[in-house]
Amino acid sequence: MSFGFKYGTPTDADFVADMRFLPNPFWIEELRGHTGKDAEVSEYVLSREGAAEFLDSFEATLRPVLAGYQRENKSHSTVAIGCTGGKHRSVAMVQELARRLADAEGVAVSIRHRDLGRE
C-alpha cells in the first residue's frame, strides 16, 4: 500500500517505510501532474541516490518475514510505503516492490494506492 503521511499512517500496516528521504517529483514541474505509476516519475524516483539500496534492503528484509508468516499460516501482511502526499515516491516504490515480491514463490501481491488522486 502506498500512502501520504499528510493523511495519516495506515493503522493496519505490519511494516511502514518512509520515502521522504528521496527528492520529491512534485517540485519538478513536468513531473508534478503525473504519478508514480507513470514511467517518467517511476524512472526518476527509482534512479535517485539511495532508492536502489532501499529497495534491495527492504526486499531482503521482507522475504524471510513473509516466508515465516506463511509457515505460521498468517494469511496476509500489509506493507505500507509513504511519502508526503502519496502520489509520486511511495507509488513508484510500491509498484516496484510489488513487482519484485510477486516473483517469490507462494506470495500473492495486491497493490493499493490509498491516497492517489486525493490531492
Q: Are 55 and 97 in contact (CB under 8 A)?
A: yes
Residue 75: what pLDDT? 85
User: What tens digit of pLDDT does each residue of 66-85 get?
Assistant: 989 989 999 899 999 999 99
Residue 36: what pLDDT? 97
Residue 118: what pLDDT? 87
Domains of the chain, residue spans: 2-101
d(CA 47, CA 69): 31
Q: In this structure, what C-alpha cell is assigned to residue 117?
A: 488522486
CB atoms within 10 A of CB 73: 6
Q: Are 78 and 14 in contact (CB under 8 A)?
A: yes
Residue 86: what pLDDT? 97
Residue 108: what pLDDT? 87
| CA distances (Å), origin 50, targets 6, 37, 56, 87, 107 | 23, 20, 10, 19, 26
